[in-house]
Structure formats: structure tokens, C-alpha cells
Structure 1
């Protein structure tokens, strides 16, 4: 059985900056923070301004740290430290800001003096995620019955600022009105107000295993250097592997799984990933899983390849491993190594095609590995670490890859969770535009591949 089971010199003393105008979030007193969780604390306190960084720190949704905050605005990047009292220290100058809006307004005015406000909670990111998402998570946790329309207070201003933040051209009025058309809100992949955001946690916060912990909790990846290790193997991945894997993950709103075939060279300690083998089956369909895996096993044998890893998708979320993924990866590594004393690595890859935190239309693809917990703490989770990979561009699209793509189209053709490629991913980008744009990043050197892929895309459109 083959189954294994994402300037200027600092002042002499810190300077507290309180600018931010009407956008400034007012600090709450300790009593008011406590009242936020009680029914009597609803009303005006249950707004965006009622939840401050100090509240998020107090309730453990964020942690203080150096360089954990960032702003990207018109090509400029600003980095800040989150202090224990909820204030922000700008790394470059050491200035202290009372709120995200104050810091964002100050930084943006340096780039664009005409900027009137900072829209801080939509502009400032904590460990890569927008702070506004942490506000939503706080309300889900402590006020699940709250009117979620209150969460979107000032949303239009923040969305406009977000477009400017990314350096995009302003959306014409007609296009803005187009956002209100029904078809743009019928897309199952567009996050709706009230969808729960899965906020990644740091590994150091996990501690000993806890059966009550949500197995779908996402965990940030560590670097090998951060745990005083060297990456024990090198990895090279074919661009055709990425193309087929990315294509598979784009087809459905449900999670998909596949295997990776390649070769392991013990002399050079190089793991070469040469083929992706999508599992054309449902995760819950155990009856067909055995037949699918047997077919993949035969394909590996016929091509003289070994099983070297697996991939799966997080359709709407960050391409980071969950606690369940960490345990699965650890199990895969042990199974591949077998009873022999020799070392053979097993590569895990997570693909996030439809996460709106991704940059542009490209999927986030995350190769990872799991380091066993320290011997003195055997009940801890394994440590998920980022794997450095060399991507090798293939010269052409092979017939094997094209055949797999067409088989996937046939498999999902009548599926209820097939992505509707004629609908919109964002106001000016259809789902078809998105998948084309993402796959273009894995394009082979031979430009003739585009005609072949166009045939595949036409088949996708004809599935609707």
C-alpha cells in the first residue's frame, strides 16, 4: 500500500507620534477592554475602533515582537516592532506610534504628502496578515453573535487605500459599480463577511500536544537556521511538476492530494522531483483510493521513479501546514525511510490557489519538511520547516503532463465543487484569467506550449 496514511537617523530618545486624525483608534481603559466580551459591551464598543492592538495582545491573538509589523505602500516598505503595551516602534527611526493608523498615516505621508489618512488596520500587516483580519477573528471568538456588519465599519475607505497601497491604478467609477453586480458575489471562493480566517500561530506557542486543540490550526514555518540545523538534503523540482500540481489545485474548491515521483541520490544528497501524480479521487472515498494509489504505484515503477513526497491544497487559506499536516508529514517521512538505516527524505508541498492574501494571481507554493521534536519533549509536535528548493525549467510540456491535465478535467467535469471559470476572481480578473496567470509562472521554454494549454482551457470552459 502506497498511502502515506506560506533612512534617517534614529532620534536620541523614542518619540511618541499621535497623528492619525479621525482614523486614530482610541485606547480603551482596562475596564472597557473587559466589557468588550460581555453583552453589555455591545453597541458602540463592538466596532472596529473598539478593538485595539492592546486588546489583541491581551487575548493572545497577536504577540509582541521585533519586525513583526509591516506596511507596503507605493513601492516602499516600512517595518515596525510591536511593543508589549500595544504601541508600534518604527524600526528605521525608533519613533513610537500609538496605533496602526498613526504609523500608517505618518509613513504614507513621507511617500505621498497629500495623503490624509492611513487606514492602518487595512494597511498594516502582522506577520504578513492584515491586522483587520485579526479584528474579525477577535469578534468570532468573543462576540460570535455580533452583527458582523459592524466589523466592516470604514471598509470602503480601507479598500480604496489597499488598492493604492499595492500601487494599482485607481478603479474607474463604472468598475467600482460593477463590484455590486450579483455575479461578483456568487463566487464561492471570494471570502464573505463572517468567514473564519485561519490565523497561523508560531511553533513556539504550541507546547505539549493537546487533544482539545483544533487539528486545523495553521503553523508558521521555521527556518533550519532558527533551530540550529542545516537542511539535510538539496531539492530540485521540475517546472512541469509545479504546472500540473497548480492546475490540479485550481480546479476545485475542495482540498486535493497528489504524490511526487523522482529520484534520491545518496552521494550528492539531492532529491529530484520529476513528476506529479494527481489523485483523481475524493479524500473521503476510501474505496477508490486503493485503486488510484495502485495505478500511481505502477506509473512510478514503469518510469523508473521512486515515491519522494506528496502535495495537497489549501484552496482558500494560506499555504502553511496545519497540525494535522505536520503529523501526516512526519508519518510520511517515517514510512518512506522504512526499516533501513539509510536516510531518504520525503518532501511535502502545500499549494494555496485561491487565498486572497497571495500576491497577484499566482498560487503560493510551500515546500516543507518536519523535524522531530527534541528527545526530551517527545509529546511535542514536530517542527515544520521551510525547504529551500531549486526550480528547474523544463524545455517542453510532456505528453504525460498533458494527458494528466485532460484526465483531471474529465474527473471534475460534473463535480458540484468545480470552479466556475467564467466567473470573477476579482473585479477585472476571471477565474480563467487567474489560472492562466498562475500557470504562466511554470511555463516551459518551448513557447508552443501555450497552444496546447489553450486547448485544455477550452475544455474547462466547456465543462460549464
Structure 2
């Protein structure tokens, strides 16, 4: 596994001070020379969808989702850039950082198979000589499930085939049939357990099959089948 990064988009209500994140845009650059063209495509996509840039995300594949010194500096840099793009400070919208730890071995038995996330911002601290450093501040948030898989997300999932194929040739690509960190489960099962708590409401797996109608069951089966195929998992 290798670190991935991207941007977070959504909306900001200055009156209620409420930030909503509705979509993530992964950076799909194969080389540093492609960075400008990748970010330009994302900016154009944001405009088309009527969204604004509200933050960025990256992964700590095998470590806890705590911001490193480099993460803190990068977050503070983004916050400054967001502020400088606004002619009027009243138009300022916040910039948050999100860290995802998909393969960190969580010791908490109740959540040990769940992927851990942490959202943060940086409070600037001014010291002697105007040297600007920052203090990371954890942000509390709530997750609101969609009622169903939106058309935008379905299109995005299909486009992930190209992204998955790109990473599949990487020497650190996870073999999802392998056992997860010596546990009695595979990486694939670990991924499933983590995603179950985040799926749209129409894909929620119920304890009673009688409660879940045939259409829901088929939709859920197709979803897992799609992911398996995406991750090159043999059945």
C-alpha cells in the first residue's frame, strides 16, 4: 500500500458556521509533471457541480491517523492559500484536513476492523521573529448517509477502474485475499466490515433477510461484486 491524496469539496454556510463535505476528488497523477493538469480537471469539475473546495485528504496506510509535522505544515499552507484567494475576509471558507488509516491495526476490539479517520485544522501560533508554526486541532464531525448511491458516485466508481489498474502494478499493491495483519480475516473482509457502516441506506445489510427485499439484496450483492472485480480479487 502507498499513500494517496486528494481534495474535499462541498459547501460552507457562514451564518450557521456549518461545513458540509459531499464529495472527494482523488489526485490521479501518474507523475509530478501531471499535477497541474490533474488539479485543473478537479477545479473544472467543482465548478460544474456547484461545489467549493473545503479541504484535502491523504492516507496513512499502516499508521494511526495523527497529523505529522509535514501534515501540519501542509494544512497551515492550505489555510493561508484559502484566505488569500478571498478579496473579503467575510467570504472566507474553512479548509480542513482529513487523514485516513485503512490498514492500521487498531487495538480496540469493538472497532478493530474499521478504518480510522481524523479531521483537523491548524491553529497558527506566532513566535519571536515572526516564525509561524501551528498547533493541530481535532475537528468533531457527523456522517450523514445518502439514501442511495447517487449518479455522480456511480460514475465516479466506474472511473475508479482506471485508478485501480494504475495501482495494481505497484509493488505495494495490497493482495486483498491475504490475511490482515495476522488476524483471522482477510484484507477483503476487513474492507467490507469498515464499509458496512458507511454505505447508503438502501445498501444497509439487515440482520433479518425477510426485512431486506430481493431488490435490496441484489443491489448489495452487485455492489460487493463490483468492488471485488475492481480490486482484482478472485472468487
Q: Same fold by TM-score, threshold 0.5 exceeded?
A: yes
1:379 aligns with 2:131: yes
1:267 Cα deviation (Å)?
1.3
Alignment coverage as a number of residue pairs: 210
1:418-458 CA-partner distances (Å, limit 9, x unpaired): 21111111342111111111111211111245234213223
- Contact 2:10–2:54 (Cα < 8 Å) also in 1: yes
Does 2:185 match 1:429?
Answer: yes
Distance 2:197 2:129 in 1: 42
* CA distance in 2: counterparts of 1:276 and 1:290, whole angstroms: 18
1:358 to 1:309, Cα distance in 2 relative to 1, 3 A: farther
Contact 1:358–1:364 (Cα < 8 Å) also in 2: no
Flag as ranges the 4+ runs of structure 1 deviating above 4 A: none
RMSD: 2.0
Tell whether 2:149 aligns with 1:400: no
Residue 376 of structure 1: how far off its partner (Å): 5.1
Displacement of 1:298: 1.2
Structure-2 residue corresponding to 1:362? 114
Unaligned runs of 5+ in 1: 1-252
1:214-229 mapped onto 2 (5 Å cutoff): none
CA distance in 2, matches of 1:287, 1:261: 24
- Map 1:163-174 to 2 at 5 A: none
Contact 2:164/2:231 (CA < 8 Å) preserved in 1? no
Matched, 1:335 2:81: yes
Measure the CA separation in 1 of the matches of 2:38 and 2:49. Answer: 17
DSSP-derived class of the 1:334 partner? helix
> 1:279 and 2:27 equivalent?
yes
Are 1:346 and 2:86 counterparts? no
Partner Cα separation in structure 1 for residue 132 and residue 80 of structure 2: 17
In structure 2, relative to structure 1, the CA distance for the partners of 1:463 and 1:279 (3 Å cut) is farther
Structure 2 matches for 1:5-404, cutoff 5 A? 253-282=1-30, 285-338=31-84, 339-340=86-87, 341-342=89-90, 343-357=92-106, 359=108, 360-374=112-126, 378-379=130-131, 381-404=133-156
1:373 is paired with a residue whose SS is strand
Question: Which has more radius of gyration?
Answer: 1
- Distance across 2 between alignment mates of 1:385 and 1:377: 24
**Residue 358 (structure 1) shift:** 5.2
Residue 412 of structure 1 is matched in structure 2 by 164
Q: Distance in 1 between matches of 2:13 and 2:183?
A: 48
Q: 2:196 aligns with which of 427, 440, 447?
A: 440
Give TM-score scaled by structure 1 length.
0.43
Deviates more, 1:449-458 or 1:359-368: 449-458
Note closer, same or farther for the CA distance 1:275–1:452 as it changes in structure 2 (3 Å cut): farther
